[in-house]
Amino acid sequence: MTQHRLILAAAVAALLSASPALAQQAEGARLNEHVRVLASDEFEGRGVATPGEQKTVDYVVGRFQALGLEPGGPDGSWVQAAQLGRTRQDGPATITVSSGGQTRALQRGPDVLVSSDRPVNHITVTDAPVVFAGYGVDAPERQWDDFKGVDLKGKVLLVIVNDPDFGAPEGHPVAGRFDGNAMTFYGRWTYKFQEAARQGAAAVLVIHDTAGAGYGWSVLEGSSTAPKFDIVRATPDAERVPAQGWIQGPVAEQLFADAGLDYAALREAARTPEFSPVTLDGVTMSIDFGQTADRIESRNILARIPGALHPEETVLYGAHWDAYGRATPVGDDDIYNGAVDNATGVAGLIELARLFKAGTPPERSVVFAAWTAEEAGLLGAEYYAANPVWPLETTVANINMDSFLPGTEVSPQIVVMGAGKSQTDTWLERRATEQGRTLIPDPAPQAGGFYRSDHFPLAKKGVPALFGAAGFTGHNEASRDYVANRYHKPSDEWTSEWVMDAAAVDVDLLYAVGRDLADSGDWPEWNAGAEFEAARASSAPRRQ
């Protein structure tokens, strides 16, 4: 860093340490109006590659234009085209289990959920042996390998959701091996699907339990009929199994019983690094279903305020614009409006753009990204991470917004997803303290919230991430009610009783943090031991 930048950084640090609490600037009424529009039935749940996408793009771009921002996409565009593969259910699925000379059917929906990311129109798995592969984890840096070189090609793998140490009692040999109850990437279903493909499996089914998954079966079943998306892959057969999905816990237990095995005992055995895959002798599974497969183009929306002194350096705000579109009806309602998740985040993005534009020009550039296809697996952010418009090496930090709760009561606590991973916590804590608020780690770390939102694909590339879920303490009535009754359901919709006053305070906080970063010469880093530390360090010369 140059001498000028060092002096500037010291001056900014001194200013921040003495700065008074900011007066509220964000307006709850503005936030509420954006949510009302974006979550209306007219937008049809903001499904990717639907008329709702075009309406969403038009609305968000229109707001950025009205505020006077510049296009932030490639070649002066407001959008970045993201090339995605799409698969959709086409007819019923036939899933059968054979053992002891008898065959029985499993029902898609109540018993098993299956789909495929392969770009083909029919999936058939016939009489494949069933193998229990523990947690489905290969993590050399943690001295863990559930596969032990066993040939799993053409097999149906059953794997446990979450990490081997989830729920392990104190003193258990595995306790803390995978960050305790804080889910790592290895605990995510997305990782388990990918690892099964590397093992050459014919199918992989994650054994569901509510505690380990972080949500009930109804959440999975409700969204299962929505189209599935993936980024376009050069070698999809090598990177994706033919069939992937979930199986109800009691249904899986019966498969083990069919083979004369004790599932509870094997679950415990899977907590040890000595575990090896166990074949369910005499048990085979067949899976047959049709789907339509095609390619579509979706869009990330990007707007920018160029930095006055260092335009080549970027503070990035992000929020995903998509919900589930039209999917499995609940009663007579098939529109998954996604009001909290995540019309509120997009509303926050627009309001943040207004606040930055109303202030003095930031010294660093600020980019506002509305990502596509988050609900399909963080694909819009994944596409940007692979094809960045603004260099990731000189992206200062990525501030993610994924759901604000309506209401007037400001939470005194702010949940930090991935607390302790990066120095961005310190920047957030400084401004939160001015609001009389405190930071707490994720109260439901078993759900792996840090790995389930759009900052994660960029974090894998080294960009420091800040995901402060203000209002979601996990202990208050509003957040419990939302998770239990509305999360990923048609009932996540805006009503005339909504107010967004508390969310406005949260937006003020994130504005202050982003403004501090944009006017600073500092580069927040990952803390020692964070899994993204090496990726960031590799690009350090670009930030000198």
- The CATH number linked to 50 is 3.40.630.10
For the chain, residues with pLDDT lower than 50 are 1-22
Of 266, 293, 320, which residue sits at a domain end?
A: 293
Whole-number pLDDT of residue 449: 85
Q: Residue 226 sits in which domain range?
A: 86-293
The rounded distance, in Å, linking the Cα atoms of 455 and 432 is 21
Question: If you search the block for the tokens 């007819």, which residue do you land on?
Answer: 91
Residue 55 lies in a domain: yes
Do 369 and 513 belong together in one domain? yes
Q: For the chain, how many residues are written?
A: 544
Residue 154 lies in a domain: yes
Do 52 and 133 belong together in one domain? no
Do 61 and 189 belong together in one domain? no
Of 293, 327, 352, which residue sits at a domain end?
A: 293
Whole-number pLDDT of residue 299: 97
Of 293, 323, 348, which residue sits at a domain end?
A: 293
The rounded distance, in Å, linking the Cα atoms of 525 and 464 is 6
Whole-number pLDDT of residue 458: 97
Do 193 and 60 belong together in one domain? no
Residues contacting 377, CB < 8 A, separation 6+: 190, 229, 230
Residue 207 lies in a domain: yes
Strands (E), 164-241: 203-208, 228-231
Beta-sheet pairing, 413-416 with 438-441: parallel
Residue 264: count of CB within 10 angstroms of its CB: 10
Whole-number pLDDT of residue 379: 93
Do 137 and 19 belong together in one domain? no
* CATH number of 124's domain: 3.50.30.30
Residue 90 lies in a domain: yes
Whole-number pLDDT of residue 12: 34
Residue 471 lies in a domain: yes
Do 388 and 517 belong together in one domain? yes
Residue 301 lies in a domain: no
The rounded distance, in Å, linking the Cα atoms of 492 and 338 is 5
Residue 483 lies in a domain: yes
Question: What tokens appear for 430 in the block?
Answer: 């400084």
Beta-sheet pairing, 413-416 with 122-132: unpaired
Do 270 and 330 belong together in one domain? no
Do 279 and 406 belong together in one domain? no
Do 316 and 270 belong together in one domain? no
Whole-number pLDDT of residue 484: 73
In order of 29, 104, 161, 289, the CA distances from 285 in angstroms are: 54, 10, 20, 13
Residue 74 lies in a domain: no
Fill in the DSSP letter of residue 340.
I
The tally of domains found in the chain comes to: 2
Do 163 and 202 belong together in one domain? yes
Do 174 and 43 belong together in one domain? no
Question: What tokens appear for 151 in the block?
Answer: 């040939």
Contact (Cβ atoms closer than 8 angstroms) between residue 530 and residue 456: no
Whole-number pLDDT of residue 506: 95
Do 15 and 42 belong together in one domain? yes
**How many Cα neighbours within 13 Å face the side chain of 5?**
13
